[in-house]
Amino acid sequence: MRVCVYIDGANMFYAQKDLGWLFDWVKVKKLIQQKFECNSFRFYTPLKPKEEKQVAQMDRLKKWGFRVFTKTPKMIKGELKANFDVEISTDIILSLLDGWKGNIVICSGDSDFAYLIRVLKKRFNRKVYIYSTKKFLSWELKYLASECLLLENFKDKIFLKNWEKRHLTRASSGSKIRHR
């Protein structure tokens, strides 16, 4: 089955933070490719100005075959925000209007995608598959999606092992580890 994959980077960031381990995006891509014939992988994420590590990660994602979409977060009520729900939804609808005949994978558990899924199923007769985590998967998406796959069930396949080595080395040396 042919799909396009849309990744809500902010939602996945907080899912990883909650799980306490990082995804290896090359492995996540391979995991999805084992189930589907993937036309494209689109990664949407906020990008803070002058964040060299983040820029390097976006460059790696591009090298690994992801199309990367970024925007600068805004300060809203004392918190940095950069929501991509509208961009992801619009890009999905535009791809269908441009002739895309396949189905959709969304890596996010955000309930803001519920209306989009209703439209995709009813108006465009498309199946929508969700990759998320148990804690971040909204009940609306559980109910509406064609199938929901929990990323923590694939930890052994998608865990970023190099991160664990760096994490353990820093922890044993007594340096404080900050999560962003």
**179 pLDDT higher than 50:** no
Q: Per residue in 35-48, pLDDT tens?
A: 999 999 999 999 98
Residues 74-78, mean pLDDT to the nearest whole number: 85
Tell me what pLDDT residue 166 has.
46
Q: Which candidate, 70, 73, 86, places its Cα nearest to that of 180?
A: 73
Closest CA to 39 of 103, 93, 88: 103
Percentage of the chain modeled with pLDDT above 90: 76
In the structure encoding, which two tokens stand for residue 91, read together?
A: 């890009």
d(CA 118, CA 128): 10
Superfamily for the 2-172 domain? 5'-nuclease (3.40.50.1010)
Residue with tokens 């895309």: 100
End-to-end distance of the chain based on CA atoms, in angstroms?
36
Alpha-carbon distance of 23 to 157, in angstroms, equals 9
Least confident of 9-13, 45-49, 115-119, 134-138: 45-49
Confidence band for 121, pLDDT divided at 50, 70 and 90: very high
Spatial contact of 26 and 51, defined as CB atoms under 8 Å apart: no
What percent of the chain stands above pLDDT 70?
89
User: Which pLDDT score is estimated for 162?
Assistant: 64
> What integer best gives the mean pLDDT of the chain?
89
DSSP state of 102: S
Computed over its alpha carbons, how large is the radius of gyration of the chain? 17
What would the pLDDT profile of 51-75 be if each residue is shown by its tens digit?
Answer: 888 899 999 999 999 999 999 888 8
